[in-house]
Amino acid sequence: MQILKVENVISGYGAMEVLHGISIEVEKGKIVSVIGPNGAGKTTLLNTIFGILRPRKGKILFKGEDISGFPPQRLVRMGIGYVPQQPDNIFPTLTVDENLEMGGFILNEDLRPRKEQVYELFPDIADRRRSRAGDLSGGMRQMLAIGRALMLEPELLLLDEPSTGLAPSLVDALFERIKMLNERGMSILLVEQNAYQALELSDWAYVLEGGEKKAEGAAKDLLEDKEIGRLYLGRR
Amino acid sequence: MPSLIVSGIILGSILTLGTIGLTLIWGVLDLFNCAHGDQMTIGAYIALATVALFSRMGILQGRVGPFSFSWGLLVAFIPAMVISAILAILIDQWCYKPLRERGIPMIVGFIISIGVAFLLRGMVYVIWGADYYFYSKGVRPTITGLPLGITLRTDEIFIMVVAWGLLALIYLFIMKTKMGKALRAMADNPTLAGITGIDTERMTIWVWAIAGALIAVAGILWGIEAQLRPEMGWLFLLPLFAAVILGGQGSFTGALVGSMILGIVQQVSTAWLLPTYKPAVAFMVMVLTLLLRPQGIFGRR
Amino acid sequence: MEIMGILSFLVSFAIMASIYAIFALGLNVQWGYTGLLNFGIAGFFAIGAYTSALVTTPLPTGPLADYVRQAIGLNQPFLVGVIAAAIVCGILAALIGLLTLRLRAGYLAICTIGIAESIRIFFNNEPWLANGPQGLVGLPQPLRHLVPPAYYNFLYLGIVLAFLLLIYFALERGIRSPWGRVLRAIREDEVMADADGKNIFLFKLQALVVGAMIMGVAGALYAHFTAAIQPGLFTPMFGTFIIWTMLTVGGTGNNKGAILGAFLVWALWSWSTYFILKVVPPGLETRAPFIRYILIGLVLVIVLLRRPRGIIGEERYVSKF
């Protein structure tokens, strides 16, 4: 079953058109990556899916339902979570704990069990729950950002370049956690500059360049593809 | 000099009631609200009208304990705060919300807010005229014999208690309640707040309500401290802006610290400069902040 | 003589409207073309007026010196005064620009408010500079000797219109030049203009300075029209806000709109008092002028919300790329 289907979406900012008719799909329970160079439109794609931008043409379907143009506040209640890019993906003057509380803002229940689940997944930030989020290191901020989105237990998680600014070892640790989330049943759509590690993590992948889909396929096939390797993975 | 510092603290406390609202509006809505000063004037004058009404009805005339004002003024705080809050919400709904909905940059909101400022001031001029008013005639009792040669009016104790009492309430609200945390979150990162599912439009109404209520109190307190005149709010605008810029966008601590510094600097400056130069002094502080640390003391980014 | 009366009134009106039109043109360069928020026009107004006044009057001597104090008195002819006004305003604008143009737009706006207020306070409280609150009177009027006093305003209107047309045509040429194109690009989208490799900061500074110099000229023209100036004239309402309303109503980014807006809003401002006085209850006449605050405020807010482009709207310029 496809949990997310983007059909021929055209989208952009103001007078600029950034996506020129993109179609991608995410199978339920899979990890899908969208890789490509800077300016390819990857963030624009996520923004359009998540309702920050309205698609000018085309449709977006979530679990079969047309959600094109639905605002983020609605999608969050329907089971989609979004983790924007660093550094703007946390509330810097709030504590770690309060950040998580904001994640669960729309719920009317006691948030402690959910918070404990997040702390279990990310023990590093558990030690710092009273610290101001702005004081955390890059790696921990990213974990907090993801943790915030997890408070609503989304079925589909959208991640915008989670590895940005992180040392490779931290990226490994982070991607391991993402894998764990996926093993628990979460579908993941990942947008990444760090193409190699993204492909290693994913089941399926798309290559985006200049607002157009240049390639798609099983992630491990793309990893082995010489052309892709040369163009997008920096291989000779 | 110690007297000046004390009056600076008093001024700073009143300023804080204004800057908290301003920095919230700036942090959450990205709007420099130029009408904030004149909204202060309106708050003060609504209280004046209420007091006049009680006078006409012959009730609540007695003076409150050792202070200079009547019970009527104490009661008048309520209509002033309520009407000011509602007015602030309405102004936002009519003038700034359409801009948000159409995606028009808040620069236009800035210009509109200046128009609103003149509108409000014009109403005050027309209804009450350009003369000075006082909440009560007669004696303003003072406390003498304090150390360091400070003289304090009894009213000023009241002002400090009210101002700091309110600030403490606000502090508890924004630190401990869910709504308050959401407000802080919105001031920190409005886009992320929207993504988290926080109802930004409802929160915006709260922002204006709080700002409106607080600025009305500031107006009344200043009316007690000095006098009421139609320009009173506009004269506060530069110090308010300077304090908010000094403190940093969207920061509550910044609003408090910035206000206190500005209040003290302004009052101390009268040791060397004429009092009419106070807005210019505020402006100097603003210029220095922009030169040395444009994001303010506690500013983000 | 009835006709003379009406004509006289119209000529006075036209002079003030034209002076304001020049202000609006200056603001158009800053805001309409380049997107710079100058809310301290009153400051440039004052500096332009005072500079010209101080440059064109002699230092008071003899018994007059007991009543009037000035810092300088160069006793130069009218044109020198106007040029000096433009230059000093330009320098002031350059200083302001160096300070604030690298920051976000709102900061420029608030700084200009602060500067205008500070200038007014300064002139009011430093009598050695320009006679403090009493201001300067008896400012020389150019070519006064050419016509009988009753008709002088007609002549002055000619002078003002000459300046207005000169500035208008210069700006119309300027906006179609490569310089003008860059300014417009900056307003539209700074990022894309930056991609062109031009030095954004320098262009913004130039726009600020040019606009300010135009405002200086207008200030000087005002001073020599009324022949008397004092700090209380250069208020935020009369010196800044009304000009913003004029440009917004007429058409931001459009020089014809600037002139149209000036005439329309000045008509509203000067004639509304007349009509208001007819309807206001007796005893409240002193408050009638303040109704203009409400009127002008309403006009600006409504125009910005309903028709932000103004009456004429922004001109589509044909540029040769």
Which of residues C239 and A222 earns the better pLDDT score?
C239
Q: Is B159 within the bounds of a domain?
A: yes
What's the mean pLDDT when you consider all of chain A? 86
Q: What residue of A is the nearest CA neighbor of B188?
A: A91
Least confident segment among A152-166, A178-192, B15-29, C136-150: C136-150
What are the chain B neighbours of C291 within 8 Å (beta carbons)? Answer: 122, 126
Q: Is B50 within the bounds of a domain?
A: yes
Report the gap between the CA of C290 and the closest CA in chain B (Å): 6
The total of other beta-carbon atoms located within 10 Å of residue B4's CB is 16
Q: How large is the average pLDDT for residues C246-267?
A: 90
Residues C186-225 have pLDDT tens digits of 776 655 555 554 577 888 899 999 999 999 999 999 999 9
Distance CA B234, CA A169 (A): 56
Which of residues A220 and C13 earns the better pLDDT score?
C13
Q: pLDDT category, C32, cuts 50, 70, 90?
A: confident
Listed as own residue / partner, the contacts of B72-79 with beta carbons closer than 8 Å and 24 or more positions apart are B73/B47, B73/B135, B73/B136, B73/B220, B73/B224, B75/B50, B76/B46, B76/B47, B76/B48, B76/B50, B76/B51, B76/B220, B77/B47, B77/B216, B77/B217, B77/B220, B79/B46, B79/B47, B79/B50
**Residue B107 pLDDT:** 82
Q: Is B241 within the bounds of a domain?
A: no
Residues A41-91 have pLDDT tens digits of 888 888 888 888 888 888 888 988 888 888 888 888 899 999 998 878 899
**Residue C153 pLDDT:** 85
Give percent of chain C with pLDDT exceeding 90: 31
Residues B225-257 have pLDDT tens digits of 988 999 898 889 989 999 999 998 878 888 999
Report the gap between the CA of B171 and the closest CA in chain A (Å): 14
**Residue C193 pLDDT:** 53
| ipTM here | 0.84
Does the pLDDT value for residue A235 go beyond 60? no
Full-model pTM: 0.84
Number of domains in chain B: 1
B185 touches chain A (CB under 8 A): yes
Q: What residue of B is the nearest CA neighbor of C107?
A: B290
Q: pLDDT category, A10, cuts 50, 70, 90?
A: confident
Query: Which member of B181, B192, B197 has the closest CB to residue A77?
Result: B197
Does the pLDDT value for residue C273 go beyond 80? no
Q: Which chains, if any, share at least 3 CB pairs under 8 A with chain C?
A: B
Distance CA C266, CA C282 (A): 26
Question: By the 8 A CB rule, do B211 and B170 touch?
Answer: no
Burial (Cβ within 10 Å: 0-12, 13-18, ≥19) of residue A142? buried
What are the chain B neighbours of C308 within 8 Å (beta carbons)? Answer: 104, 108
Q: How large is the average pLDDT for residues B111-131?
A: 90
Q: Can you give the residue range of the structural domain that contains B208?
A: 26-233
Q: How large is the average pLDDT for residues C236-264?
A: 90
Q: What angle do CA B244, B227, C111 make, to 5 degrees?
A: 30
Residues A163-173 have pLDDT tens digits of 888 888 888 88
Which of residues C95 and B103 earns the better pLDDT score?
C95
Mutate which: A46, A99, A102, vs B, most B CBs within 10 A = A102
Report the gap between the CA of B267 and the closest CA in chain A (Å): 32
Number of domains in chain A: 1
**Residue C319 pLDDT:** 45
Q: Can you give the residue range of the structural domain that contains A170?
A: 2-232
B56 touches chain A (CB under 8 A): no
Q: Which residue has the tokens 């500013």?
A: B299
Q: How large is the average pLDDT for residues A170-199?
A: 87
What's the mean pLDDT when you consider all of chain C? 84
Give percent of chain B with pLDDT exceeding 70: 99
Q: How large is the average pLDDT for residues B13-30?
A: 91
Q: What pairs with residue B153 in β-bridges?
A: B142
Burial (Cβ within 10 Å: 0-12, 13-18, ≥19) of residue C15? buried
Residues A94-139 have pLDDT tens digits of 899 999 999 888 888 888 888 998 898 888 888 888 888 888 888 8
Structural domain spans, chain C: 2-234
Q: What angle do CA C125, C129, C133 make, to 5 degrees?
A: 40
Token pair, residue C203, equals 């262009």
Does the pLDDT value for residue C314 go beyond 70? no
Contact between A103 and B196 using a beta-carbon 8 Å cutoff? yes
Q: How large is the average pLDDT for residues A28-47?
A: 86
- Bond into A87 cis (ω within 30): yes
Q: How large is the average pLDDT for residues C253-264?
A: 90
Q: pLDDT category, C321, cuts 50, 70, 90?
A: very low
